[in-house]
Structure 1
Amino acid sequence: MCSLGDGGMIRVIIADDHHIVRQGLRALLERDKRIEVVGEAADGQEAVELAQKLQPDIVILDIAMPRLDGVQATSKIMALDTKTQVIVLSVHNRRKIAQRVLRNGAAGYLLKNAVNEELILAILAARRGEIYLSPEISKSILNNLWSLEQETGSDDLSLQLTAREHEVLKLIVDGYTNNEIGEMLHISPKTVSKHRMNLMTKLGVNDVTGLMRVALKEGLVFLDE
C-alpha cells in the first residue's frame, strides 16, 4: 500500500446513501483542520465516478449502498490509476466481510458503533500507508487473513464468484429484473439470465429466493442499513 505523503490537506470523499449520515461524517471530519471534504456520493457507483474525477486521498464508503456496495466499489476505486485509498464503514462484525474488503485493497474497516473515535485515526493511518481495523475485529482478521488466502478449498463463497457475478447478484437482491439489470450493466437480458443460472449453481440453490437467502447469509451482498 502506498503512503499518501505528509504534505497538504487530506482530501476526502464521503459515500453513504443516507444524507444525514453523510452530514454527520462531514461535521466530524471538518473539525480536524488537516482534512478537507471535497465531495459526497449517495451510492457506490457515484463514489467510483467521483473518485475518478476528483482523485481524493481517501474515499470513505458505507458497506451497504445501492448500485454498488462497499466491497464492489472498493475494488473499482482501487483499480483506478490514482493513489486514492478506501476506508469502509460497516455494522457487520464478521471476519469474512472484512477480509473481502481488505482483499480488494481497502486501507481500513471500521465498525459504525466506533466511528467517532476511530475515523480520524484510520484516515491518518492510511496517510502513512498503513491499514486500520476496528479493535473488535482486528485480532480475528490478523490471525486468519493471510493463512486463509493460501488455503485450498476455502469456504469463502465470494472467491467463487466473478466481479460481474457479484454485480448481478447485488442487483438481483435489490429487486431488479433481468431487463433492468441488463440496461444498468450494458449487457443483454440473455446474458443476465446466464449469470443468474451460474450464480444459482455456484451457491447451490434452485430459485431466486434461495439465491437471495444465501447471498445475505454469507455476506455476499448487503441490505440497506
Structure 2
Amino acid sequence: MIRIVIAEDHNLVRQGIRALLEQSGEVQVVAEAATGEEAIQSVQEHQPDVIVMDLSMPRLDGAQAAERIIDMKLATQIIILSMHADTTMVQQLLRLGVKGYLLKDAVTEELMLAVHSVSQGKLFLSPTISDSVMTMLLSPSDNMAETAADLLTPREREVLQLVGEGHTNNAIAEMLKISVKTVEKHRANLMTKLEVNDLASLIRESIKQGLILLDG
C-alpha cells in the first residue's frame, strides 16, 4: 500500500481526491491537511510515501510547504495540484525536487498514474504540459539561470505571499511572530530584489513571476 497525505484547503475537493485514491485499493490515506503548515506537520508525523498537495493554499502555499518538506530529507515524494500550467512555477518546483505536477482538470485520469510514478522516484507531469516545455525547463541553461525565486529567502517568500493575500504589516507581524519593523524591512528587500517601487507593482510582478499564488 502506498501511504498518502492529502493537502487541499477546500474540503469538497479534498474529499474528492481521497475518494479517487481510495477507490484504487492501492493506497492508504494517512492524513489530510487544509493548510501548508498542516501539510508539513502531517508529513513530519506520518512520513508518507507521497503527499498530494494543492499549490494555492492560504498563508503557506504549496511551493513553500514543498520546500520545507524537501528540507526534512525524508523519502516522501511530492505531487503538486494546480489550475494552471505555469512554466515558471513548474520550473521552480522541479528545481526544488518536486516529482509530480498535475493540472486539476485532469486529476481524475492522471492522479493514480502520478502516484505510481512518483512513489518510484520518477517524474510525472500532466501530458498537457508539452514535451517542448519540459525540455526547456530541464535544460542545463535553465537550471543554471538565477530566477527571482532564487534571490528570495524563505521568510521573504512568506511575507510576499501574505502581502499578496492583502494582509497588513501588523497582521503579518502577528501571524509570523515577528516585529512590524522586520516586516517592513522584508517588504523593502522584496521591492529591491524585484526592482519595483510600490506595492501594486510588487504584487503585479510577483504574480507574473509565479511568486504569489492566488486561490482558484
Quickly name the TM-score band, shorter chain normalised.
over 0.9
**Alignment-derived partner of residue 149 in structure 2:** 158
Which amino acid is the alignment partner of residue 109 of structure 1? Y
Q: 1:131 aligns with which of 115, 123, 127?
A: 123
- What whole-Å deviation, never above 9, does each CA across 1:122-148 have from its counterpart, x for those lacking one? 110112111111112151123332320
Q: Does 1:49 pair with 2:52?
A: no
Among 207, 210, 214, the alignment partner of 1:216 is: 207
What is the alpha-carbon distance in structure 2 between the residues aligned to residue 57 and residue 180 of structure 1?
Answer: 36
Using the alignment, how far apart are the partners of 1:211 and 1:115 within structure 2? 33
Q: TM-score, normalised by structure 1?
A: 0.90
* Residue of 166, 170, 184 corresponding to 1:175: 166
Which position in structure 2 is the counterpart of 1:23?
A: 15
Equivalent in 24, 33, 37 of residue 32 of structure 1: 24
CA distance in 2, matches of 1:127, 1:57: 6
SS in structure 1 at match of 2:207: helix
Mapped contact 1:11–1:38 kept (Cα < 8 A): yes
Counterpart amino acid of 2:28? E
Over the aligned positions, Cα root-mean-square deviation in angstroms equals: 1.3
Give the match for residue 200 of structure 1.
191
Partner of 2:91: 99
Aligned to 1:72: 64
Identity of aligned residues (%): 50
Three-state SS of the structure 1 residue aligned to 2:139 is: helix
Aligned length, in residue pairs: 214
Aligned pairs (5 A) from 1:178-189: 178-189=169-180
**1:94–1:137 Cα contact (<8 Å) kept:** no
Deviations 1:196-218 (A, max 9, x none): 00111111222212211111122
Please, which runs of 5 or more residues in structure 1 have no aligned partner? 1-8
Q: Counterpart amino acid of 1:141?
A: M
Matched, 1:142 2:138: no
Provide structure 2 residue ranges, at least 5 long, that are not aligned to the other structure.
none
Q: Is the 8 A contact 2:77 2:121 kept in 1?
A: no
